[in-house]
Amino acid sequence: IGEVRSAGFVLVAGGLGERLGYTGIKVALPLYECERRCFMRLYCEHILELQRRSGASVLPLAIMTSDDTHALTEALFRDNHDFGMAPGQVTIMKQNKVPALIDRDARFAAKGGAIETKPHGHGDVHTLMHQTGTAARWRDSGVRWVVFFQDTNGPIFRAIPAVLGVSASRSFDINSV
């Protein structure tokens, strides 16, 4: 758990839950039908517990949103008192949209006579972390490990201490679960 104290967490949360039959943002999805606790609460609880167990003063969380999810993500945090996270612990970064393509020939998707746009994609997170100053702030505060995780993947937090420990002991620059 020692390496966890030097970690920062990044969630890419630019999508809606329509493919899952949910009308809101995926991070607001309830974990279970019988429970009101959502995925974002679970993520924050795990980060706060890792923070406590590792002895870290703060483990930062950066969230990449899109036009579709940005305001709803901010409201989710506001309405839930930041899920117990400290002021400044969470950075919410909005990615831009780009023209949507419909096939491998790179034809544009059109809707109502206009080119349809979609969020740029997961790769934008690295640019946004740089542009917002998040990467520099984290580096300056001692963050050595950046843990990227996907929305609706709650169990990943159980593996993070071991993955970071192996990464450190093997001098990995990059690791994946």
Cβ atoms of 31 and 39 within 8 Å: the answer is yes
pLDDT band at residue 97, thresholds of 50, 70 and 90?
A: confident
Please report the pLDDT score of residue 30 as a whole number: 87
Domain assignment present for residue 123? The answer is yes
Domain assignment present for residue 146? The answer is yes
Please report the pLDDT score of residue 121 as a whole number: 74
Domain assignment present for residue 59? The answer is yes
CATH of residue 137: 3.90.550.10
Domain assignment present for residue 33? The answer is yes
Residues β-bridged to residue 108: 101
Domain assignment present for residue 174? The answer is no
Domain assignment present for residue 110? The answer is yes
% of residues, the chain, pLDDT over 70:
100
The H or E element spanning position 43 is: helix 39-54
Domain assignment present for residue 176? The answer is no
Q: What is the pLDDT of residues 117-148, one digit of tens each?
A: 877 777 789 999 999 999 999 999 999 999 99
Cβ atoms of 76 and 28 within 8 Å: the answer is yes
The H or E element spanning position 10 is: strand 7-12
Q: What is the pLDDT of residues 7-23, one digit of tens each?
A: 999 999 877 777 777 78
Cβ atoms of 44 and 83 within 8 Å: the answer is yes
- The DSSP bridge pattern shows strands 145-150 and 7-12 to be parallel
Average pLDDT over residues 84-113: 92
Higher-confidence residue of 151 and 41: namely 41
Residue 134 sits in which domain range?
2-169
The H or E element spanning position 127 is: helix 124-131
- Whole-structure pTM over 0.85, yes or no? yes
Domain count for the chain, please give it.
1
* Average per-residue pLDDT for the chain: 91
pLDDT at 114 over 80: yes
Domain assignment present for residue 64? The answer is yes
